[in-house]
A and B are shown apart, each in its own frame.
Chain A
């Protein structure tokens, strides 16, 4: 399903792959396409959320940063060149491996949720000084989403920050899979491949509710109708 004009350049996802053949599945879930395969459309975007994230860790080195978008050369180089230690998790790959590429297993299953958390977010309390969440939370059903947010709160040190992206248009049918690559402290290189239907869409109120247990939540609305959200733990 082709996106209308303004949506073509919208931030979305941290995965890439072949464009889906035919319409997006009614269940709202497409198999996660193989990363870095197929044609991609790339663009460069200013990101105030990213700028804010780096403002908070500026003038520090030796921090421990978690990137949930999988390892890319650009992100590894950027973070490590700032003198930080980077942990990389390919969150969507693990999601696909745990719940099946077509989500045939319910994301509300407590056993599966626990298994997933062990695979993707099994870290000691207060391990991280920052998390680049990107858009992966939009792929999660409510039960899994709450479990993941709970776990993130535990593994991130108090007063640290997380950066997450959410679409601001609650009428979207489909959005691309994206890979986010950091170019500068306020600039992202974004690669898009294929389409999928978001599992959940969020407005300001639902995001405030989702992160209500955190210290603060700050929104930046981009012209691409994306909310960049800085969450203080």
Chain B
């Protein structure tokens, strides 16, 4: 097994998981990383965390997260404050707002892409948690 596939298998490690035999209709608010390999309809928010839609995952929802990785099917608008990855064989239909986007060859995407600068931290007393990603899409053919 290659390093790449090991990395991808372990992507959901430490995350809350919605398994592939599970269907949820409604609102999901997550305060930890979330791995969705089942069906979700409604809204999904993981504002400070990573949302992974697994290869069996089907999400018909408005999605907001810090980072979104699509391996399965997503239908709905997606807002990812840091970045979104649309992996090979993933299907995403909807409008995207994000700071960075990575689209692998073989992914299907229909919709619009808005690259937005992350807002600077307000107040000035709190240190920034992490440097904002540059306003640029990622390098071509990037595969982990």
Q: Which residues of A contact B (CB under 8 A)?
A: 35-37, 64, 70-74, 76-77, 80-81, 85-90, 93, 181
Chain A residues with CB under 8 Å of B111's CB are 87-88
User: A77 and B140: CB pair below 8 A?
Assistant: yes
A-B contact count (CB 8 A): 66
Contact in complex: A73, B137 (CB < 8 Å): yes
Count of B residues near A, CB < 8 Å?
A: 25
* Across-interface contacts of A86 in B (CB, < 8 A): 112-113
- Complex CA gap A86/B107 in Å reads 16
Q: B106 contacts the other chain (Cβ, under 8 Å)?
A: yes
A77 in contact with B137 given A36-B106, A37-B106, A72-B103 (CB within 8 Å): yes
Q: Do A76 and B137 contact each other (CB < 8 Å), given the known contacts A85-B114, A88-B113?
A: yes
Which residues from B are CB-within-8-Å of A36? 88, 105-106
Hey, which chain B residues are within 8 Å of A181, CB to CB?
A: 140
Residue from A74, A80, A87 having most chain B Cβ neighbours under 10 A: A80
Give the chain B neighbours of A73 by CB distance below 8 A.
102-105, 137-142
Q: Which residues on B sit within 8 Å (CB–CB) of A85? A: 112-114
Within 91-115 of B, Cβ neighbours of A (below 8 Å) are at: 101-115
Shortest 9 CB-CB contacts between residues of A and residues of B:
A77-B137, A71-B109, A36-B105, A36-B106, A80-B115, A73-B140, A87-B112, A86-B113, A74-B140
- Nearest chain B CB to A97's CB is how many angstroms away? 11
B102 to chain A, nearest CB (A): 7
Q: With a CB–CB cut-off of 8 A, which chain B residues contact A88? A: 109-113
Which residues on B sit within 8 Å (CB–CB) of A90?
108-110
B109 near A80 (CB under 8 angstroms)? no
CB nearest neighbor in B for A120 = B110
Inter-chain contact B106/A76, CB cutoff 8 Å: no
B24 close to A (CB within 8 Å): no
Q: How far is the CA of A88 from the CA of B106 in the complex (A)?
A: 14
User: CB distance B110 to A89 under 8 Å?
Assistant: yes
B136 interface residue (CB < 8 Å to A): yes
27 A-B contacts (beta carbon < 8 Å): A35-B106, A36-B106, A37-B106, A64-B112, A70-B108, A70-B109, A72-B105, A73-B138, A73-B141, A76-B103, A76-B113, A77-B137, A77-B140, A80-B101, A80-B115, A80-B137, A81-B135, A81-B137, A85-B113, A85-B114, A86-B113, A87-B112, A88-B109, A88-B110, A88-B111, A90-B110, A93-B108
Closest to B112 in A: A87
Residue of B nearest to A189 (CB): B140
Task: Identify which of A36, A76, A90 gathers the most chain B CB atoms within 10 Å of its CB.
Answer: A76
A65 to B111 CA separation, bound complex (whole angstroms): 11
Chain B, Cβ-Cβ closest to A71:
B109
